[in-house]
A and B are shown apart, each in its own frame.
Chain A
């Protein structure tokens, strides 16, 4: 039986105070939402969650990638392929994007389990990632947040087996975005809940329970999508869930993370799960999915990793609403962020191992690691005698730095410096730090980011970030 072998999460560190959204001064400890910054999007968050999920697992084993999002930047051009390259996965890979519905994350998870059970895949990386935008001033802007969750689905070393699933589908125009729309539209919220969300969730969950001859009290934890806190609580009550069963939905800390919302709750549930626990996941969007999982003894062997709680603790408050508008390119400026030639598609293709996978090379003659790929060794001058080596999951240290006040960013200066990784030297921008945090030799790790959107396309590369404490293992 297919099961989840590993999980990963990513929540962008920037936090926008809901007070600031209402034009009030932010209160300490007041409600907030997690927001992707100008160099983040559904792809960069997916790569971060995917890398976290793969920590301690062989990337060679992954033979399928399912990427679920409603906010992937391209209309045409696959996301899973881009993410697979950024994660340095092999080319013998089945890649699929699941899109257009908030339910895409659980649909992808179900499809992964089906592929495993059918034998058409052995190890599927499923990533749900979203950064949907509500129009400035809208309720959706208040409720939504950004984030990503990832799962490795396989038959081996399962930490939770996928026991059963049930889906219902219904046609409804409740929330939508048409071609060219930046912001999510919504029909009247009472209609959305009364004719869409509440009845379809009940239908899927009741169906799942009936299939298994279960009652809802047989489940220790329930991860439940909800468009907002109140509607979610109402549905939980209708389903007969007790307070202890319902997982935290992070309203006031993260917000409704769209496609990633229910999956992030599942990650949080797994972070604290004990062997034998049963978990129910219910997700909504043009119908509903219900999934039943059972935690196995394997969960005790899963190496500690950064889950939802770790990411929620890592906060970088946004000073004011204007900064957020700049970060999301919602203000007006002299030049479009998309102006300029951008990266040549030819160069993007030719340098995909360097720029997307952050792979360098190790000289077979002298062992020196260098970046980017080049023909003649910088140290011993041997020609064309290298092995490709992935640097993205190694640690680095800061050799020197500067603070640049010219480069466009919502919060100048841009911290840039020279990073030593395995002996290779790389010029990189630093994120998640301000000038006062920077010191010579400081340990660093790497995050996939959107460097700019010139040429009308997102142009990705890696940035360095101060190395964080090893993953917390709350409850593990």
Chain B
């Protein structure tokens, strides 16, 4: 099978996203309905029960499985499946949706990512005491493991990470559906309370509630929904070994990043991501995660990220704006929704609908999800034409 087998076969014809945040008065179903019905409207679909042939839904915290989404939307008598792949869940659910259409089985499907961590009663991750190995078992502890090694090798430091958080907070102020709308300074980041060195509070993404949805259709039918459908150029996911027990891991990059990027670029026919990709949403669960993504995805050379952070390459006005809506950091991170939220933002950017945060004339947009220890990386590349 050729690497380009998926390219341009499937299009995004509608997107939706509920406001992310501490949605105390909303159930998962409420958010699913908000996101999905916005996506229906965006696609001009009045009778979803007649048009949506299958649903691919992703959630990490659900206790009800796919039924939660089927019941919220009253989409019965058709396949509704649930995908779970840590923080890469949203991109993986999207991937199943794309493949289902590319296979010729369906014309129109719905992808819904959502999560409701704020019903658990804790502001951060819970410290699970159900094992003896690998404790403390927190994402901040896992993702910080590249810091000592990276800082030692490339001379970067907490200030470089802080600039990423400052950028994403700024972008978050420009996105109507984002949770945090507050500018911060490098000093704020450096003086915040420590979570897991080198991550202080502001180096960590905001865990929120939220749901996002995408309607996909066969490309040859897409203009029947709207005039500016967005093409799916590539979508992939790479599994990786647990870096904590992977012999010889150098802790300077995350292996699945590079593997997924190589596959996605081959699928999309991209040879020079730096010049071809116009806007990117990358997984910034922690500030260092975004820094490593710049390098692992080929946006800059290994070890050079701090120079490009300093010269503003990844800011809204830069050569390759990253996390234009504030990212996980400021828009919020409802685990299963995040990958779909990134596709929502990239679709708006490609269609020129991103208002104050609109990037100038992007042709290709990349989104990147990193999940697990990290042990999975999902990438989706969308194109305007």
A residues adjacent to B (C-beta < 8 A): 340-344, 347, 354-355, 368, 370-372, 378-379, 399-408, 413-414, 416-418, 423-427, 429, 435, 440, 451-452, 454-455, 459-461
- CA gap between A380 and B251 in the complex, in Å: 21
CB <8 Å contact, B135 and A407:
yes
Q: Which one of B129, B145, B246 contacts A452 once the chains associate, using CB atoms below 8 Å?
A: B129
CB <8 Å contact, A454 and B194:
no
A402-B130 contact in complex given A368-B247, A378-B246, A425-B249, C-beta closer than 8 Å:
no
- Specify which chain A residues have a CB less than 8 angstroms from the CB of B245 in the assembled complex: 370-372, 378, 424-427
The 4 A-B pairs at the shortest CB distance, nearest first, are namely A454-B129, A407-B136, A461-B132, A403-B197
- Specify which chain B residues have a CB less than 8 angstroms from the CB of A405 in the assembled complex: 193-196
- The B130-148 residues at the A interface (CB cut-off 8 A) are 130-136, 138, 140-141, 144-148
Chain A residue nearest to B145 (CB atoms) is A400
Quote the shortest CB–CB distance from A152 to chain B (angstroms).
28
CB <8 Å contact, A416 and B132:
no
Quote the shortest CB–CB distance from A474 to chain B (angstroms).
36
- Specify which chain A residues have a CB less than 8 angstroms from the CB of B145 in the assembled complex: 400-402, 417-418
1/0 per residue B102-140: CB within 8 Å of A? 000000000000000000000011011111111110101
Quick check: is B27 within 8 A (CB to CB) of the other chain? no
- Specify which chain A residues have a CB less than 8 angstroms from the CB of B196 in the assembled complex: 402-406, 413
Quote the shortest CB–CB distance from B373 to chain A (angstroms).
9
CB <8 Å contact, B197 and A343:
no
CB <8 Å contact, B247 and A454:
no
CB <8 Å contact, A355 and B133:
yes
- Specify which chain B residues have a CB less than 8 angstroms from the CB of A418 in the assembled complex: 145, 244, 249, 251
- Specify which chain B residues have a CB less than 8 angstroms from the CB of A401 in the assembled complex: 145, 148
Quote the shortest CB–CB distance from B241 to chain A (angstroms).
7
Q: Which one of B135, B147, B193, B197 contacts A435 once the chains associate, using CB atoms below 8 Å?
A: B197
Chain A residue nearest to B194 (CB atoms) is A405
CB <8 Å contact, B148 and A429:
no
B residues adjacent to A (C-beta < 8 A): 124-125, 127-136, 138, 140-141, 144-149, 152, 193-197, 241, 244-247, 249, 251
Quote the shortest CB–CB distance from A466 to chain B (angstroms).
16
Quote the shortest CB–CB distance from A300 to chain B (angstroms).
42
- Specify which chain A residues have a CB less than 8 angstroms from the CB of B125 in the assembled complex: 406
Chain B residue nearest to A405 (CB atoms) is B194
10 contacts between A and B (CB under 8 A): A370-B245, A399-B249, A400-B145, A402-B144, A404-B141, A405-B196, A406-B127, A424-B245, A440-B152, A461-B133
- CA gap between A406 and B128 in the complex, in Å: 11
A404-B196, A418-B251 given; name 10 further pairs at CB < 8 Å.
Answer: A343-B131, A402-B196, A404-B136, A404-B141, A406-B195, A416-B135, A424-B247, A425-B249, A451-B132, A452-B135
- CA gap between A208 and B145 in the complex, in Å: 61
- With most chain B CB atoms within 10 A of its CB, the pick from A340, A341, A402, A416 is A402
CB <8 Å contact, B244 and A427:
yes
CB <8 Å contact, A404 and B138:
yes
- With most chain B CB atoms within 10 A of its CB, the pick from A405, A423, A459 is A405
- Specify which chain B residues have a CB less than 8 angstroms from the CB of A414 in the assembled complex: 136
Q: Which one of B141, B149, B241 contacts A416 once the chains associate, using CB atoms below 8 Å?
A: B141
Q: Which one of A341, A355, A407, A426 contacts B132 once the chains associate, using CB atoms below 8 Å?
A: A355
Chain A residue nearest to B195 (CB atoms) is A405
CB <8 Å contact, A413 and B132:
no
CB <8 Å contact, B130 and A413:
no
CB <8 Å contact, B197 and A402:
yes
A343-B249 contact in complex given A400-B148, A402-B145, A402-B147, C-beta closer than 8 Å:
no
CB <8 Å contact, B244 and A425:
yes
- CA gap between A426 and B141 in the complex, in Å: 14
A451-B135 contact in complex given A342-B129, A342-B130, A402-B196, C-beta closer than 8 Å:
yes
Q: Which one of A344, A379, A417, A423 contacts B130 once the chains associate, using CB atoms below 8 Å?
A: A344
Chain B residue nearest to A407 (CB atoms) is B136
Quote the shortest CB–CB distance from A465 to chain B (angstroms).
16
- With most chain A CB atoms within 10 A of its CB, the pick from B132, B244, B245, B249 is B132
CB <8 Å contact, B152 and A343:
no
Quote the shortest CB–CB distance from A338 to chain B (angstroms).
10
- Specify which chain A residues have a CB less than 8 angstroms from the CB of B147 in the assembled complex: 400, 402
CB <8 Å contact, A440 and B127:
no
- With most chain A CB atoms within 10 A of its CB, the pick from B133, B147, B196, B197 is B133
